[in-house]
Amino acid sequence: MEDKSISGINLLFPVLNEHKRLRPGIEKTIRYMTHYCEKYGKIDYRCTILDNGSDDDTPDIARALCKEYPEHVFYVRIEQRGVGIAFRTGVESNEAPIVGYMDIDLSTDINYLGKTIHLFEKYPELDYVNGTRFSPESKAIGRKWYRKITSAGLVFLLKTQLGMKATDGICGFTFMRKDVAKALVAQASDDNGWFYMIEILLRAERAGYRICDLPVTFTENYDTTVKIGKTIRNYLKRIAALKKTFAAENSARANLKER
């Protein structure tokens, strides 16, 4: 019988001034993966902390975790801020068969990490797992009305303006196979912010990769560094810019076919 087990996974954790959540998030992940390996068999895993220029004691905590868990915790300092550049940096240096990122506050129930590994093992043709808060099977806990409105508005714009097929653009829980991740990063822009992950998803859809839109249980965290107003303005600018980029790419492809 063919062995479809996944030999390794790289969990990317972009962080910025996360001195309160860094240790709890990493240690909970290690406990979970230890239990997972005991139950389902050993899998090489690493938690890569990608520090976007923290100016608190986040680096000290990260280095301490590396010493305490030398086989599983790794620290990378990036002197620029943004999830985009953190993800890009993590993917470019990654060698694990599966790579992806989770928010350090573990807003997405960590049990979905195990489900994601099982999906990649069960379906060798699967390229990409996209966590979603907005599928009918998803469960969102503690979401305030204004968060629901802004999120619904973003999904509406992504579907109508950019043709997104997924039910959520950015859940903070995204995994893909190594070669797929590297290919998408090579194609994508150099945007450093959150919207970069939306672009990665949209490019995966455009490229025809096989994507699982995975319903998750998501608990809203309001002790956050995300500024909603600034984020919305950035989304609107990036949607307009990406729409132009995709139109130009479509035109270039059409011209090549005509030759």
Q: What is the pLDDT along the chain (259 residues), one digit of tens a residue?
A: 344 567 899 999 999 999 999 999 999 999 999 999 999 999 999 999 999 999 999 999 999 999 999 999 999 999 999 999 999 999 999 999 999 999 999 999 999 999 999 999 999 999 999 999 999 999 989 877 777 788 888 999 999 999 999 999 999 999 999 999 999 999 999 999 889 999 999 999 999 999 999 999 999 876 555 566 777 787 889 999 999 999 999 998 888 777 6
Got the DSSP string for 65-79? HHHHSTTTEEEEEES
3-state helix, strand and coil shares in percent for the chain, rounded to the nearest 5: 50, 20, 30
What Rg do the C-alpha atoms of the chain give, in angstroms?
Answer: 18
Amino acid at 88: R
Alpha-carbon 198 to chain mean position: 9
Which pLDDT score, from 0 to 100, does residue 151 have? Answer: 83
Instruction: Return the structure tokens found at 29.
Output: 């992940």
In whole angstroms, give the CA distance from residue 116 to residue 130: 9
Which pLDDT score, from 0 to 100, does residue 226 have? Answer: 55
Which pLDDT score, from 0 to 100, does residue 230 have? Answer: 72
User: Which residues, in sequence order, are bridge partners of residue 49?
Assistant: 13, 75
Which pLDDT score, from 0 to 100, does residue 2 have? Answer: 44
Alpha-carbon distance values, 33 to 42, 49, 54, 56, 84 (Å):
9, 16, 27, 28, 26
Domains of the chain by residue range: 8-258
Instruction: Return the structure tokens found at 226.
Output: 């995300």
The domain 8-258 having CATH identifier 3.40.50.12500: the answer here is: no
pLDDT in tens, 40-69: 999 999 999 999 999 999 999 999 999 999
Which pLDDT score, from 0 to 100, does residue 183 have? Answer: 98
User: Which residues, in sequence order, are bridge partners of residue 174?
Assistant: 101, 130
Amino acid at 227: K
